[in-house]
Structure 1
């Protein structure tokens, strides 16, 4: 059973992620990835040690205040100074040891974010305002394909993400699987994720990147290797030609309007690169970088008025008649 699988609903995924998809869906303490498990253990250790230090400091403070008058009355000045010196030196040594240990453990945990192997699945992740462009790459160019906002990975296998920022600084973060890594324009970064359990894991841009930063989510879907291979093979195929008359009319409208200048639908004349690849958009769980579940109604609403739904995004308002809007939404919903 896929953990956190989205249930049918009409609300935005970002507005009510737990209600829509069930469970503790995005948490650094609800971990199912190798790197995330190490980070959680480090967090728990740091919190535990700091709590113990705080309690010891409070106890020492209380004891010192309680005994202050008696100590001043009984102990001579040199004795008090020696005790103070020993206490301060002990505190300094303990602080150095604790901070040094935390530094070493943090370094080890950070290295786990960039583990790489020869057989890793490699995905190029591009951060844009405000969506995620994804390209599955490999040694054979014929096996490459592009998608957007939804990453499928096989369970129990390292996945190397090549991170690129194309406009401003973004930050890739799927807390249940790994730590954060920035996408900086002109500076490629890498991050390795690995899911130890099948499930649907929510990710988010973790670096303020503009007006719609909060509406820049993504999904990572971890599934058995056989299921992943089936999905990847289907994604490599061109879009099927619509069988229904309304969807076929939608294809013609899509190609005749500015849609084809911004989006790619493999198998058609649409070859734009400004917006997400829509070849199999109907099979994705969400549109607009996690803003709505993928339904024909949400597709129509997004096409009809993208600036009201997500102000400031780069998709222009394309004038369509009601019949054209219904046809285009039917066509896009058919692209499984």
Structure 2
């Protein structure tokens, strides 16, 4: 797990969030018999002490990447061990909603705190809520390998002849999310046939598919590739570390991965679970999440929360619909698996 300066975040939040909680929340743990079990794929270093100190509830975190969390929930369908799931991936939440895994009609006392982005991402069932969205990929290029003039500016440029055999992307079946939300937007936006042709053009230009985004970072640095579609947190971390890269947000937008939170409908810890969801929608909480090192590169869904200065002033995120993404997930991933790429 990534090491973050969580302790400093805790002390900065205790007073601000503590003052915003009512007496019932502050003593919420008094009636709690078991810890709240939260499955998540980020922020595991800081969210436990923040939530416990602000609300009084005990929480137990189970952390893994998006694919691991999804696999765990699938394996536990007959006997779920989790109360809350908080992770990236609009397709997963839409599927869980359809399968009636999630508690519907959440009691969101902080619903009015959502900004325009957060409100636009609410499903009709009100069974999950977005806590942020980030670019599942932006364009990144190694400045030691290609000049600004030669660098790709739009997504279609990844198939340019001057980038023959030197472009990388993450495998949507392995790094899913964030790689699946990235590719899905093209299939939904262009249509299935045109989406396949779009990526076929890139693959025929010799693009390399890597298991996960950290593998792309390594390939960019060692010269194996010159440019890539790379998750924004990895890209900005490279930049912060002084690596020779530049980041491009294409004019057409960067496909986004949405981080949602939902409650297991079989949970026997619903009071604490709803307190957790509402806690994530506190302005003070989202301020701390934004400040959480490399994990903080995202667009908040709560009003009056500013994202990091390194990002564009108004980053253009384009988002594939969750229901559509879930419906076509098997087909899209199977198509990618069938491609003869490295």
TM range (shorter): under 0.3
Larger Rg: 1
Report the TM-score when normalising by structure 2. Answer: 0.24
Higher relative contact order (CA 8 A, sep 6+): 2
TM-score by length of 1: 0.25
